[in-house]
Structure 1
């Protein structure tokens, strides 16, 4: 958790320290090389593994960050002559960089619109700023496409394995730093009841109504049913969305396994925190652009209501409660 926060902090520090004295490049591109390791620069056909953040020139306008997923982005260096490409575009800025280099780029959207004959994006006024750090440079050279892609695939598998090995530590750190004493089920689900409900517990086939906020162990909120929470965490809000408790039939409508197990433990009215390992969530798959592979998830839930339904056969036994996890 601390590592990801430090990485993101370093990215914004890099951006803040480098916003002055941009050099002018082709096509309205502006750039500042923050660190040059002297390595060979990327060429057409190469690939780069990069950490990056993308911001528009509007206030509080972080558009994307690889630090959210904890995985680098793989960038293919394409030829400027391909349709839609031009000197000074997103692709061309990576040709300034080699392994270990870092830089800040400002992409001119007026130039992009003129060169591509496309409308200017509405998420920025004039510039989009990229803060980039290169982790690894995959050189095409004389390699076949197959050999090059094998290198990249093996590298990415190693990155995923690192996330897998880090999961247990993320959970332990979250529990420790928040001074929690969760109970643990046989499946690995952990939970803390913060307010005990007095109603009936749901069973498979019942419909539950749940207020929730989901976040990563580093505190990043990725979803919530509560508008005030979404606003406080500066989440993008679909103007068509109606914030309200989620409603679903346990065992009939698919949710992650950690939710099914956890909610069967709680009486109506219960407020609790679920600490869900990735094996009971999304496993080795990312979910959207906020939930990384092998990500343990934290859900603050309130079981607002239980509506009796037609019983269904349990696919697995109901979770059994073990001793407190720590």
Structure 2
């Protein structure tokens, strides 16, 4: 786990700043400090914890640590260990920053292609923009790698614990803001029936055909079966089949909140499911869209219920919602 968090990845979320007042550095790198705290800058071997937004010059956000509520952990690679690096690359940016600093960098894609031999990405024209705010610098100094990583790991675990503690408040704020009066099950699942529907509720073995939209308590949408909703929220994928999803209750490996929630609905029913992380993805962050310990909000419409054999789930199969294989289009636990 220590190795996995010491990786500089794309993250994003802020709008592009004005193109004025940018300075030039080596390799075509452009930069503008939003705040220079005046402290010591990072050097090779140090590790940064930072808020990070990465976007293209086409105003497309690639990733955003603010959405995840977690710092990006980024090592500054010593020159002696650099392979494929060049002046003006990601590592150059990190060496220009110290604790408390914030800045905007524009990475020149022509230079990157020329220096690395890799083709320019098709999703940008001239540059990729990084908006960085450094929260903490872990100085390598004379520390052993083990001692340094221990400091980083404690910081990381403290942020995870903060997310865990904030979950109940996120749910309460969402319910209050949207003026909801949800019912709550023994498991902690909350739900609001918007349309009752008709007929019997599905049981284990039945197939429920649903339209759905999934989001976070802050309103950010991360998945949907509706192509128009996907386009509106900039999550549309041309290769994804946007259509009603079939979930065989107790068999299709979806999160536990779905397995329980779908059995509360009838054909034609519509509901909002407020799923605590214990019935969702728990401490597992899902790519760049779902933070750890994130409560999930699903708007669900039951299109049809297809009766199936009422056998018990296969006891040898992976428990539903707990490490089961991924089904395309379904909110599974990975």
TM-score, normalization: structure 1?
0.90
Cα deviation, residue 80, structure 1: 4.0
Greater RCO, CA 8 A, separation 6+: 1
Q: 1:165 maps to what in 2?
A: 165
Q: 2:305 maps to what in 1?
A: 306
The gaps in structure 1 that reach 5 residues or longer are: 1-10, 317-326
Structure 2 SS opposite 1:12 = coil
For 1:30 and 1:176, how far apart are their aligned partners in 2? 44
Q: 1:121 maps to what in 2?
A: 121
Q: 1:322 maps to what in 2?
A: none
After superposing the two structures, state which structure 1 stretch, 81-90 or 21-30, moved more.
81-90
Matches within 5 A, 1:33-182: 33-58=33-58, 60-80=59-79, 82-182=82-182
Structure 1 SS opposite 2:210 = strand
Q: 1:272 maps to what in 2?
A: 271
Cα deviation, residue 201, structure 1: 1.0
Q: 1:238 maps to what in 2?
A: 237
Deviation digits for residues 3-52 of structure 1 (CA, Å, limit 9, x no counterpart): xxxxxxxx737x53x53111110111011111111111110011000101
Deviation digits for residues 91-124 of structure 1 (CA, Å, limit 9, x no counterpart): 1101111111000000000000001111111110
Cα deviation, residue 313, structure 1: 3.0
Deviation digits for residues 126-179 of structure 1 (CA, Å, limit 9, x no counterpart): 011110000100010000000000000000000000000100000000000000
Cα deviation, residue 90, structure 1: 1.1
For the Cα contact (< 8 Å) 1:80–1:86, is it kept in 2?
Answer: no
For 2:77 and 2:295, how far apart are their aligned partners in 1? 36
Cα RMSD for the two superposed structures: 1.5
Q: 1:12 maps to what in 2?
A: 14
The gaps in structure 2 that reach 5 residues or longer are: 1-12, 320-334
Matches within 5 A, 1:279-294: 279-294=278-293
After superposing the two structures, state which structure 1 stretch, 224-233 or 76-85, moved more.
76-85
For 2:104 and 2:51, how far apart are their aligned partners in 1? 12
